[in-house]
Amino acid sequence: MYHFDKGVLVVRLNMEDVVVTGLGATTPLGGDVPSTWAGMLAGESGIAAVEEDWAAALPVRIAARLRVEPTEVLDRVQARRLDRCEQIALVAAREAWADAGRPGVEPERLAVVIGTGTGGALSMLGQDDVLEASGVRKVSPHTVAMLMANGPAAWVSIELGARGGAHTPVSACASGAEAIATGLDLIRLGRADVVVAGGTEACIHPLPLAGFAQARAHSTRNDAPGRASRPFDTGRDGFVIGEGAALVVLERAGFAAARAARVHAVLAGAGVTSDAHHITAAHQDGQVRAIRLALAAAGLGPAGIGQVHAHATSTQLGDLTEAGSIEEAVGSRPAVTATKSMTGHLFGAAGALGAVAAVLSLRERVVPAVRNLEEQDPRVRLDVVAGAPRRGVAGAALVNSFGFGGHNASLVFTAAG
């Protein structure tokens, strides 16, 4: 809680546990959490060829699109007024809220934190095309509400009646994990009892594909989409752009206990840092500091981590940097997985989906295997799970999420009970 004492703000942290009571997602593997999780355990790929005519001239013609279109779930009129990233945030929020049992919380004690990397990029680019081709009178009156990055958080707050704040971290690929870290802070600062937190992204479009291709960050395995994303493998040649949303419901443990809520896991700690080094090249020091801050917040040492859900996008330099960071911060003993090998890179939603996978791994005591890991890079001195899911893994779960701009966010989850 916080108060003013002689004009000075005094903050007293609430160190009560923060628990995860709800999970929601829509991804290239499935339209909800159960189907996405089943796809991860089966080692499926959500990556496919981009068949539109506009892709023919691009060096990159693969992407990981949603398995289930949000328009199949949302009301037609409502969907037409929302950007795709807003649509899928609502889909994931409804699942997470229902999974949590629709907590009866005071609106002023309910907050929403949804991160995104590009926000309503599809609407901005699409409406610009409309303006150029047909003039101002054809531009949608909903354009501004569709393109603004805070749109997903705003729409979810309206849907749930959340009046405790609607926040939007925009930290590139670390946005979703940073949103969950912010949710933890809101509860521990006494500003909320329940927070819906996570990330959303939808930007499969010629311009991002062309830009990433020019930066040589995207895989060009156009002839073998399912084999394109291969974290930690010697043959990796870049990430694959994906779309999706993932959200969790966080609650103060006492609040959850009072309503006899089912608890999936405990969000024990989080660490957020910045590299101040380079706009696109990651720095090991910043990643290590984020991991160590998360461990310290959770009251754990390196030996307490049993599994790592790596950021691991399948780029040459990025995977090596993170492997070194994991080895330095927690050692080479934990089981390491990288689900982007199946879902592609969901950018602002990536860390949130990693959190959902970590919670399920703890709850089910099984860690998904990395798809396409045929020959592990010998410079990656980690116990990377390959071939088949690994069962019976003990210890806490670490989730890493790193983004362009030097943004680093790490989360630590522990098993419920």
Residues recognised as catalytic: 173, 311, 345
Residue appearing with tokens 């806490």: 396
Cβ contact 122:83 at 8 Å: yes
* Phi and psi at residue 76, to the nearest 5°: -60, -45
**316-to-59, 109, 214, 228, 236 alpha-carbon distances in Å:** 19, 44, 16, 13, 7
Six-digit token pair at 136?
Answer: 């101002």
248 bridge partner residues: 23, 197
For residues 169 and 28, give the distance between their C-alpha atoms in angstroms, rounded to a whole number.
23
Q: CA–CA separation, 374 vs 149, rounded Å? A: 38
How many residues does the structure list for the chain? 417
Nearest-5° Cα angle at 212, 339 to 235: 50
Question: Cα(177)–Cα(413) distance, rounded to whole angstroms?
Answer: 12
Cα 358 from Cα 365, distance rounded (Å):
10
Q: What is the residue type of 406?
A: G
